[in-house]
Structure 1
């Protein structure tokens, strides 16, 4: 089992449940295509380590799950493992 270890000022997504590496990280506001970094259909857990805003993990335009200040970690993206192909940070 891994540890949610996203650096401060970033949101991270992990290839395995329980924060198993490899790990991707982003910080920009707005919608981003995870395919730009070869991270589409790979997210199985996530960690929000930012002071504000929230991040939505999306399958095209459909919201799968969300992380933010009130819900910083998602150790397992079930039932949406490997579905996300976009993220959207609301600043």
Structure 2
């Protein structure tokens, strides 16, 4: 179960607003960003209970530290960054990151794969993200089409 959460951002600081769902305790996040239930704002990242993270502001190539698979909203590893470690399988829309990936970096030993316009069926075009590899631009045809990711030890 996921819920959309809201917050107001002011210049360099963020003011958080809790939005209680019908039957759960309130949580916090940022405007227009969805996050898994139980996520918390830690510095400039939203951290899910499983450790997955979504950056609030722009990130760089070097911000994808050892052990993480990172997706970037802009080419050349720029813009917002969504990062995963270990095993993860989920829809990018749960993070407000659907159809936004333009570049990626895998700075870990696990293989990852992303799916084009796939919202939980895991059958649409699949692209492998090799361990310790990076792509500064996914290509014109694939740009802003990633909708799901799986970090595991299996390629497409």
Into which bin does the TM-score normalised by the smaller protein fall? 0.7 to 0.9
Question: By how many angstroms is 1:90 displaced?
Answer: 1.9
Q: Paired residue for 2:133?
A: 72
Q: CA RMSD in A?
A: 1.9
| 1:46-72 Cα distance to aligned partner (Å, 9 max, x none) | 00011x221111021223422122x61
Structure 1: give runs of 5+ residues left out of the alignment. Answer: none
Taking structure 1 as the reference length, the TM-score comes to 0.83
How many angstroms apart in 1 are the aligned matches of 2:96 and 2:60?
Answer: 23
Q: Do 1:64 and 1:80's aligned partners in 2 also have CA atoms closer than 8 Å?
A: no
How many residues align? The count is 88
1:4 is the counterpart of 2:65? no
Q: Paired residue for 1:55?
A: 112
| 1:15-60 Cα distance to aligned partner (Å, 9 max, x none) | 111101211111241421111111110000000011x221111021
Larger RCO (alpha carbons 8 Å, 6+ apart): 1
Single out whichever of 73-82 and 3-12 deviates more from structure 2: 3-12
Q: Do 1:4 and 1:73's aligned partners in 2 also have CA atoms closer than 8 Å?
A: no
Rg larger for:
2
Q: Do 2:110 and 2:152's aligned partners in 1 also have CA atoms closer than 8 Å?
A: yes
